[in-house]
């Protein structure tokens, strides 16, 4: 198969940096778009890490699914080496050649692949996004989804979990077909029929990719936009399968043969509330950056609800909480470690700090803060002792008799 590709990416008019990355590797015939997300430089690092791992894996002859799974591991591994990158993630949509007349798309996240065949554009990939899941379930109309405030929430991405579910789409192609890979910056800003019209009217792949990115910017450029346009110049239906094909077509066959899960089955397996909770959790994990941007107005940078710690009071005791004061999107803080310190032992300054939720961030930071509290308490005790003033006994710790013993649930 002979392919010709063009690609373009742009930061857009609103964002300060471009978290999209893309791959055009004509030698190994692999094309990919990654749209990163995460605080600090996390989004950029995640998408670049995924793209680089993908490129190396494909160049080493790995099938696309394994290459994407490897890219997921690479993003997680990269995040573990730098605390500032914790929780970063990325989408990844990949195009490779499966055989003489078949392309294969591997996909995770809300970037997209389209095919233009006979002048008509068809979307290949499903978005792994909250609103699109709601549309698929009939709980939102496509029109409502378009303007939904949570349309940026991704339910599947690389970098979040050690296992990743990869969608594979085999596409039979003919000469003259055109494939578009793009980040959501394009599809949220430009209507599908305008994308289609542009793909139909501009014959040059590179120029078409540039025009698509321009169109997103003309419509407001609210996100980073990336587009890869791949033209199928020549196919060979009689050519033997590409080296990657045996394993790849095996997985494809499995996917094609297993029907999409019956929504009713899913509902039976997971109660609606649980499903929503899991989505919200994904939202928190992935879209902390958004939460942070909103939260910044009210109180600075918070870590992930799941990965953050702070020092506060519980039952008049100084404890280390796991979570964020007040909770974030359903994640309420939980007591991770209780100390022997009580509120009456603390001086006013320490007391106020703890009452307000102190030392927000890492566990070690919280532990260090507790150590300083202990030192302050010890210093106060020493002073009191040396002045021979009778030491005021700390108020007895509150009785727990008000706590109703938990009944075994039935
Ligand atoms: Mn995006």
**pLDDT means per 10 residues in the chain (410 residues)?**
97 95 96 92 95 97 97 96 91 96 96 96 94 87 81 88 95 97 96 96 98 97 97 83 40 31 30 41 62 56 66 90 77 83 90 89 88 87 52 47 41
Tokens 């995640």 sit on residue: 46
Show the tokens assigned to 1. 């198969």
DSSP string, 4-37: EEEEEEE-TTT-SS--EEEEEETTTTEEEEEEEE
Rounded CA separation 405/410 (Å): 15
Confidence at residue 297, expressed as pLDDT on a 0 to 100 scale: 52
Residue 278 Cα, ligand 1 centroid: separation in angstroms?
A: 22
Ordered by start, the domain boundaries in the chain are 2-242+257-265, 308-381
Residue 224 Cα, ligand 1 centroid: separation in angstroms?
A: 6
Length of the chain: 410
Residue 20 Cα, ligand 1 centroid: separation in angstroms?
A: 7
Confidence at residue 294, expressed as pLDDT on a 0 to 100 scale: 66
Q: Who's near 56: CB < 8 A, 6+ residues apart?
A: none
- Rg (Cα) of the chain, in Å, rounded? 27
Residue 225 Cα, ligand 1 centroid: separation in angstroms?
A: 7
Tell me which CATH code domain 2-242+257-265 carries.
Answer: 3.60.40.10
Residue 105 Cα, ligand 1 centroid: separation in angstroms?
A: 19
Residue 185 Cα, ligand 1 centroid: separation in angstroms?
A: 5
C-alpha pair distances (Å), 368 with each of 82, 84, 358, 359, 375: 20, 19, 11, 9, 11
Residue 156 Cα, ligand 1 centroid: separation in angstroms?
A: 14
pTM: 0.61
Residue 231 Cα, ligand 1 centroid: separation in angstroms?
A: 24
Helices 64-80 and 245-257, packing angle to 10 deg = 90
Rounded CA separation 97/236 (Å): 12
DSSP string, 164-214: ---EEEEEE--TT-EEEEE-HHHHTTS-HHHHHHHHHH---HHHHHHHHHH
Q: Mark the residues whose beta carbon lies below 5 A from ion ligand 1.
A: 35, 183-185, 223
Residue 218 Cα, ligand 1 centroid: separation in angstroms?
A: 16
Residue 242 Cα, ligand 1 centroid: separation in angstroms?
A: 32
Residue 365 Cα, ligand 1 centroid: separation in angstroms?
A: 33
Confidence at residue 410, expressed as pLDDT on a 0 to 100 scale: 42
Confidence at residue 72, expressed as pLDDT on a 0 to 100 scale: 97
């Amino acid at each position: 198969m002979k392919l010709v590709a063009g690609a373009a990416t742009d930061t857009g008019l609103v964002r300060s940096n471009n978290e999209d990355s893309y791959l055009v590797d004509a030698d190994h015939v692999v094309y990919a778009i990654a749209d990163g997300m995460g605080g600090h430089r996390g989004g950029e690092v995640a998408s670049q890490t995924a793209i680089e791992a993908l490129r190396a894996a494909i160049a080493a002859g790995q099938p696309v699914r394994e290459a994407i799974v490897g890219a997921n591991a690479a993003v997680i591994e990269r995040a573990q080496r730098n605390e500032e990158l914790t929780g970063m993630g990325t989408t990844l949509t990949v195009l490779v050649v499966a055989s003489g007349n078949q392309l294969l798309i591997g996909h995770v996240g809300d970037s997209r692949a389209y095919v233009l065949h006979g002048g008509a554009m068809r979307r290949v990939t499903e978005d792994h996004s909250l609103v699109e899941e709601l549309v698929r379930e009939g709980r939102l109309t496509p029109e409502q989804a378009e303007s939904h405030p949570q349309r940026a929430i991704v339910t599947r991405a690389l970098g979040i979990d050690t296992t990743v579910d990869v969608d594979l789409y085999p596409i039979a192609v003919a000469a003259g077909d055109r494939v578009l890979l793009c980040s959501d910056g394009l599809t949220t800003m430009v209507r599908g029929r305008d994308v289609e019209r542009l793909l139909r009217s501009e014959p040059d792949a590179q120029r078409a990719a540039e025009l698509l990115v321009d169109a997103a910017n003309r419509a407001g450029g609210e996100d980073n936009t990336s587009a890869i346009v791949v033209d199928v110049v020549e196919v060979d239906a009689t050519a033997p399968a590409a080296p990657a094909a045996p394993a790849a077509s095996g997985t494809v066959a499995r996917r094609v043969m297993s029907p999409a899960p019956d929504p009713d089955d899913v509902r039976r397996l997971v109660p609606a509330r649980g499903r929503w909770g899991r989505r919200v959790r994904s939202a928190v994990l992935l879209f902390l950056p958004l939460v942070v941007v909103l939260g910044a107005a009210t109180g600075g940078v918070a870590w992930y609800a799941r990965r953050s710690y702070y020092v506060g009071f519980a039952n008049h005791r100084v404890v280390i909480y796991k979570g964020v004061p007040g909770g974030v999107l359903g994640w309420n803080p939980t007591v991770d470690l209780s100390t022997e310190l009580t509120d009456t032992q603390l001086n006013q300054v320490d007391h106020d700090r703890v009452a307000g939720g102190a030392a927000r961030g890492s566990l070690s930071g919280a532990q260090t803060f507790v150590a300083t509290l202990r030192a302050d308490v010890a210093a106060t005790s020493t002073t009191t002792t040396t002045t021979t003033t009778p030491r005021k006994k700390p108020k007895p710790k509150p009785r727990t008799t008000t706590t109703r013993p938990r009944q075994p649930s039935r």
